[in-house]
Structure formats: structure tokens, C-alpha cells
Amino acid sequence: MAEFLTRGGTPWTPEYLLAINAETCIGCGRCFKVCTRGVMELMGINDDGEMCDPFDDDEDIVRKVMTVSNSGDCIGCGSCAKVCGASCQTHGNEAL
């Protein structure tokens, strides 16, 4: 577990985005908007419950959810957790 110091000298441990619960995610996109690292991606869920391209006109999209697509790019800032109204994200301090 890595511990760092803030500019003011306060100890800080990054909490990386590990997973997003597709059952509770409402697909609002707030987390996507605050992430400057491109860690998440919007996906659609079709009638069969499978993930698919949310912009594919041939798919019958039931709902949209965020997924973790580039977990290695997460810097552990926690901005996505702060704006998530559904509390569907799992964060931890395990590095890849």
C-alpha cells in the first residue's frame, strides 16, 4: 500500500476504482464527466442482459451503465466516488 503526502504534508493513500456494480449503476455519467483519465466507459445492456455498444441502433438497449475500461489509468483521486449518487463503485488501495 502506497502512502503519499499532500502538498500541505497530510498523509494520503490513493483509493483506486476497482469495479462498478452494473446492478446499481444508473448510467448518469457524472463519474465519467469528472474523470480526467478515461478510466470508465459507457456501455448498454440489451434485452438479454448482455453488455453492448450503447450507440448501436440495431441493439435494443434496456439501460446504460458505466464500466471500468482502463483501470490502470486510475490515479486514485476519488472524484468519481464523490459524485456518484448511486454509491455503486468499489474503491481500494491495491495497485495493479
User: Confidence class of residue 59 from pLDDT cuts 50, 70 and 90?
Assistant: confident
Query: ∠ at Cα 36 (33, 40), nearest 5°?
Result: 65
pLDDT of the residue at 96: 58
Cell numbers that stand for 51 in this block: 453488455
Cell numbers that stand for 67 in this block: 464500466
Q: What integer is the mean pLDDT of 19-37?
A: 96
Does the predicted model carry a pTM greater than 0.85? yes
CB 96 within 8 A of CB 19: no
Residue 13 pLDDT > 70: yes
- Alpha carbon 44 to chain centroid distance? 15
CATH of 13-92, one of 3.20.20.80, 3.30.70.20, 3.40.50.300, 3.10.290.10: 3.30.70.20
In order of 6, 26, 61, 70, the CA distances from 64 in angstroms are 36, 7, 7, 18
